[in-house]
Amino acid sequence: MEKSDLAFTAIWNKYRPAILRLMVGAESEPGRYKFSSHEFHEIQSRQKGSLAFTLSIHKSRAVNNIKASKLALALLSILRESETGRRLTETATYDLSLDKEFVLHVKRTAVEIEPVVAEAESHVIESI
């Protein structure tokens, strides 16, 4: 594991409780959290380009391609380690995006659950 990967993981570990609260609160409205830019300054000085990213997560898996963002990969890893994070992503998709001003935006999208049981029951009734 690279030194920058450890730094990314350390940042997300530090803020995991706040991020999980934002995810819980996102059920009623999107949330946001402003990080202090100095926490990312050392990491950003070693990175080319912006640290901004968007992570869409459902069932503890990234729905979008985040391979280019080590920061997003570290956040996904931290959320996978959290029982609360895994539970929340089972029933919804969460979009977590970090903008250039180091504001994390959290938005929840409910996942439509197919009425498989009702559909199966209708086939049984039709065959009777």
Query: Is 98 in contact with 52 (CB distance < 8 Å)?
Result: yes
Q: What is the pLDDT of residue 115?
A: 54
For the chain, give the mean pLDDT. Answer: 85
Residue 126 has pLDDT above 60, yes or no: no
Number of domains in the chain: 1
Domain coverage including residue 74 = 3-127
Model pLDDT for residues 63-116, shown as the tens digit of each residue = 999 999 989 999 999 999 999 999 999 989 999 999 999 999 999 998 765 555
Query: Is 103 in contact with 33 (CB distance < 8 Å)?
Result: yes
**Sheet architecture: strand order including 61-62:** 31-34, 103-110, 92-98, 53-58, 61-62
pTM reported for the whole predicted model: 0.81
**At 3, is the pLDDT very low, low, confident or very high (cuts 50, 70, 90)?**
low
